[in-house]
Chains A and B, each alone.
Chain A
């Protein structure tokens, strides 16, 4: 299986901050990477697919970049609604669709 490693595991930030989360794959996945946001007690929500494509209805302050083995999710100006846990997911193959361990964005 392809292993996905996110960093940091926890991030403390203030409203208005620029936030960057990194996801690394154990082997190349081209651009087949998605990002999700999950709030406590709720299902995950798809934010980004194909590394940099914004899902319909997702605010433009969210952006994704990267290819191969290194990817980033950036929130350009953190809003109160953005405090949540974020997961990356590779979908390069069904040898195992795998998720990263998550990054919790907390209020500083």
Chain B
């Protein structure tokens, strides 16, 4: 059974930093492309960013609102995904979900793949407030 368990959320002041973790099990994590998706309280879903598997280059892509402030990384030896969030703003307040990119359900161009998300963690709440 696929399990994704996020941790590391909490209250942080504007301008501060926080690192989220996502522990994965039930599938071959090293082969997976992984994303973070967030949801502000009472609002819709927003894709944050993605990391490819190391086999496919291990590169990252980010949504415009977080580019340059957030960094996604992975430790395949620990089956863990990370989201380092710096220079946090009040508008970053949200539940952050770790997800798997459903490669077989997407499509791949010569340079990348574009996918929906098939497995989700339970989410971890990040509150940015003074």
Contact = CB atoms under 8 A, between A and B. Distances in A.
B105 A53 contact: yes
A9 B86 CA distance: 33
Contacts, number: 64
Contact of A50 (B45, B47, B105): B105
B116 A34 contact: yes
Contacts of A99: 44-47
Nearest to A90: B114
Contacts of A42: 122
Residue from A34, A94, A96 with most neighbouring chain B CB atoms (10 Å)? A94
Interface in A73-87: 87
A85 to B, nearest CB: 9
Interface in A55-97: 55, 87, 89, 91-94, 96-97
10 contacts: A32-B114, A34-B116, A50-B105, A55-B105, A87-B45, A89-B117, A91-B115, A93-B114, A94-B112, A96-B47
Top 6 nearest A-B pairs (CB, nearest first) are A34-B116, A43-B120, A97-B47, A49-B105, A99-B45, A91-B114
Given A91-B116, A100-B44, 18 more contacts: A32-B106, A34-B116, A43-B97, A43-B122, A44-B117, A46-B116, A46-B117, A49-B105, A49-B106, A49-B116, A87-B44, A89-B45, A91-B115, A94-B112, A96-B63, A97-B114, A101-B44, A102-B44
Interface of A: 1, 32, 34, 36, 42-46, 49-50, 53, 55, 87, 89, 91-94, 96-102
Interface of B: 35, 44-47, 50, 61, 63-64, 97, 102, 105-107, 112, 114-118, 120-123
